[in-house]
Amino acid sequence: MSLPQHLAAGELLTALHGTGEILTALRGATCPSSAIRLYSILRIRLRPSDPSYCVGRGAVFALKPLSAASSLPLLSHFHAHLLKSNLLAYPHVASSLLRSYSLLSPAIAHHLFDQMPPATCNMFVVNVMLRSLCSSDLTSARLFFDGIPDKDVVSWSTMLACYFSKGRLGVADGLAFFREMTFTSQVAADYVTLVTVLTGCASAGLLQPFCRSIHGYVVRRRVPASSHLGASLIDCYAKVGHLDYASRVFARVASRNVMHWTAMICGMAMHLHYDEAIQLFEKMCWRGLGPNEMIFTAVLSACGRAGLVEQGRVFFQLMVEKYGLEPSIHHYACMVDIFAKAGQLEDAYDVIKTMKVEPNLVIWTSLLAACKRFKNFDIAVEGIEKVLAMEISDENSGLYTLISDLYAMGERWGDVIKVRRLMEEHNLRKNRGLRRARDLTVPTIS
DNA sequence: ATAGGGTTAG
């Protein structure tokens, strides 16, 4: 149910009748003030005959917009209320509060957990705590994990995701952990676990047998196919270099949705099969499936790499006009790249000047590289200034060379020297950082 | 019937 946000509390009170109605409204609330208002109305409206967990449910729903507002004072105020009305005894309220705190202040979350009575501390609470530790410190997360007596599928998946996302555990070790879970501990993996493992394998770009063994698990254990799992399998096979297996999985998906098509189209483009990617995209549209933003980034980047300027222009127009999708920075980056690569520098610059979001480093770099290649200093001028005003990280330090080359092309020798100086300062900072890091490591003596 | 884990992109 959608609720007019401008209603005053009094009007709301007359507009909403049952507690069920208020709960539904509260669930959909996005701004903290309306959530608090709805929550107070819920408390007024609640009759003694209503089950007590109703307030608890309300508190859980109110906590979401509250933590999204990321205001610690607001959250601790609500916390005080929960304490006073004795609602923290409900595990679902406690776990929600813990989750909210873990996003704002891990230290408070930790403290809250330590103070919790054992009766409140169920698996939900424990797993929220684990998740919180995972996002701050891997070692203490693992210690905590080892101390959980009856680890369930969520505990294992959380730990697994932590290992993969931090890149602290190689894929081989990650899979050993997966085996420890499913084989040694006999905890069945569900589709979230499998998506986690597949994403981990895919991002590590590791060997194909890993992906196969997970695929094997899916088939053997008859894990219910979800669109996420299917798409992850396609994505993983494509990323580890087996487009043929990806296609086979894609062909066998019973009810294909946009996610499967996206994964397959991205896979095709990844393997430089641009024409096939575009054909697949057209086939999907022809079948009446509505494309999403992600597919368009894949298709547009395929156009850029294949040098299909007009095709790219048409697809961009299609995205905006026919499908009503708002172009993101990725789409603009693709368009700039399409024009820039083809040497149509004016068109590329035009995209930058008319786009509705602030151009980022990727976009400027794409234009500047083309300016150098096609020898056009005039179009580069604004970009150079913008880039120099941005934070340039070590991996982008090649930009200084690019800019210095562009200045040389424009015969702006004073600026060439200035950029060289900037580059030296940057390198100096970098080296000093490295030296300090090196001092910290203990030398091993054999 | 309320709460916890994953989500694709040059």
Q: Cβ within 7 Å of strand B: which of A 49-88?
A: 53, 56-57, 60
Radius of gyration from C-alpha coordinates of chain A:
27
Window from A343-347, A350-354, A428-432 with minimum mean pLDDT: A428-432
The model carries a pTM of 0.81
DSSP A331-381: HHHHHHHHHHHTT-HHHHHHHHHH-SS---HHHHHHHHHHHHHTT-HHHHH
Asked whether the predicted pLDDT for residue A445 surpasses 60, the reply is no
CA distances from A277 to A211, A236, A281, A388 (A): 22, 17, 6, 37
- Residue A230's nearest CA partner among A197, A196, A256 is A256
Residue entry with tokens 């499998």: A194
pLDDT of residue A312: 96
Where helices occur in A205-326 by DSSP H, the ranges are 208-220, 227-239, 243-252, 258-270, 274-286, 293-306, 309-317
Task: In whole angstroms, give the CA distance from residue A82 to residue A70.
Answer: 18
Cα A264 to chain centroid, rounded? 20
Q: Is the CB of A155 under 7 A from strand B?
A: yes
Q: Is the CB of A174 under 7 A from strand B?
A: no
- Higher-pLDDT residue of A182 and A29 is A182
- Residue A338's nearest CA partner among A300, A299, A392 is A300
pLDDT of residue A208: 63
- Pair of tokens at residue A60: 């859980």
Q: Three-state SS across A69-126?
A: CCCHHHHHHHHHHHHHCCHHHCHHHHHHHHHHHHHHCHHHHHHHHHHCCCCCCCHHHH
Query: Which nucleotides of strand B lie under 7 Å from a protein CB?
Result: 2-10
Domain boundaries, chain A: 151-253
pLDDT of residue A205: 60
Asked whether the predicted pLDDT for residue A209 surpasses 90, the reply is no
| Mean pLDDT, residues A211-240 taken together | 88
Cβ-Cβ contacts under 8 Å for A106 (sequence gap 6 or more): A132, A133, A135, A136
- Helix A153-166 / helix A123-136 crossing angle, nearest 10 deg: 10
> Tens digit of pLDDT for each residue in A303-313?
999 999 999 99
| Mean pLDDT, residues A324-353 taken together | 95
> Tens digit of pLDDT for each residue in A369-381?
999 999 999 999 9
CA of A191 to C1' of B6 (A): 8
| Mean pLDDT, residues A233-250 taken together | 92
Closest-approach nucleotide to residue A96, Cα vs C1': B3
CA distances from A92 to A26, A60, A107, A442 (A): 16, 7, 21, 46
Asked whether the predicted pLDDT for residue A37 surpasses 80, the reply is yes
CA of A311 to C1' of B2 (A): 50
CA angle A282, A316, A312 (to 5 degrees): 70
- Higher-pLDDT residue of A18 and A113 is A113
Label residue A11 by pLDDT band (50, 70, 90): low
Q: Is the CB of A135 under 7 A from strand B?
A: no
Residue at minimal CA–C1' distance from B2?
Answer: A57
> Tens digit of pLDDT for each residue in A165-200?
866 666 677 888 999 999 999 999 999 999 999 988
Q: Is the CB of A231 under 7 A from strand B?
A: yes
- Pair of tokens at residue A139: 């070692």
Task: In whole angstroms, give the CA distance from residue A155 to residue A191.
Answer: 14
Window from A5-9, A240-244, A289-293, A322-326 with minimum mean pLDDT: A5-9
pLDDT of residue A173: 79
pLDDT of residue A118: 93
Tell me the pLDDT of chain A averaged across its residues: 87
pLDDT of residue A283: 94
- Pair of tokens at residue A158: 């959380």
Task: In whole angstroms, give the CA distance from residue A315 to residue A94.
Answer: 49
Asked whether the predicted pLDDT for residue A433 surpasses 70, the reply is no
- Residue A331's nearest CA partner among A353, A312, A347, A306 is A312
pLDDT of residue A6: 47
Label residue A17 by pLDDT band (50, 70, 90): low
| Mean pLDDT, residues A82-105 taken together | 93
Window from A50-54, A106-110, A288-292 with minimum mean pLDDT: A50-54
Contact A205, A239 (CB under 8 A): yes
pLDDT of residue A224: 76
Residue entry with tokens 């789409």: A331
How much of chain A, in percent, has pLDDT values that exceed 90? 64
pLDDT of residue A441: 43
Label residue A207 by pLDDT band (50, 70, 90): low
